[in-house]
Structure 1
Amino acid sequence: MSQKVEIETEFITVGQFLKEVGIIGTGGQAKWYLKENSIEVNGEPEDRRGKKLYKGDKIVAEDQTFEIA
């Protein structure tokens, strides 16, 4: 089962997402985090902190599944 992450805007970036769900403490940690850890967006590996996430996207990070809602 995936955790829902509610957004009020059209999209958020991977860096904003990681901060929102508490995986990183500040946006500046996103670049480092993505170099050291792998995440998947809609089943594809992703390492760009600026990648835009839209409603319906599924993200796997830290052995957890999230869905943008």
Structure 2
Amino acid sequence: MQTLDFELDRDFVELNQLLKLVGLCDSGGAGKQLVASGAVQVDGAVELRKTAKLRAGQRVRVSDVEIRVLPAR
């Protein structure tokens, strides 16, 4: 499994935007489609809210890629 770290520079990031920012989707719209397909898990549970607010400490999984949302340093 590939692990990507995303350092949060604000209070939260929306799920569809996170997928775009780490390069798993070309756009926020593509991120919304991926979430709607049921292929995205947040903290081990399928997440269908396209703009779910993710905060530091959460983990997102898409197939064999895990994204760790980290606090800003």
**TM range, normalised to the smaller chain?**
0.7 to 0.9
Q: Which stretch of the first structure deviates more once superposed, 2-11 or 26-35?
A: 26-35
* Residue equivalent to 2:31: 30
Residues 1:52 and 1:20: Cα distance change in structure 2 (over 3 Å): same
The count of residues paired between Structure 1 and Structure 2 equals 69
* Residue equivalent to 1:44: 45
C-alpha RMSD of matched pairs (Å): 1.6
- Give CA-to-partner distance per residue, 1:6-32, whole Å, 9 cap, x none: 110000010111001111111122222
Query: Can you give the 5+ residue segments of structure 1 that lack an aligned partner in the other structure?
Result: none
**What is the TM-score with the length of structure 2 in the denominator?**
0.82
Identity of aligned residues (%): 26
The secondary structure found in structure 1 opposite 2:60 is strand
Query: Can you give the 5+ residue segments of structure 2 that lack an aligned partner in the other structure?
Result: none
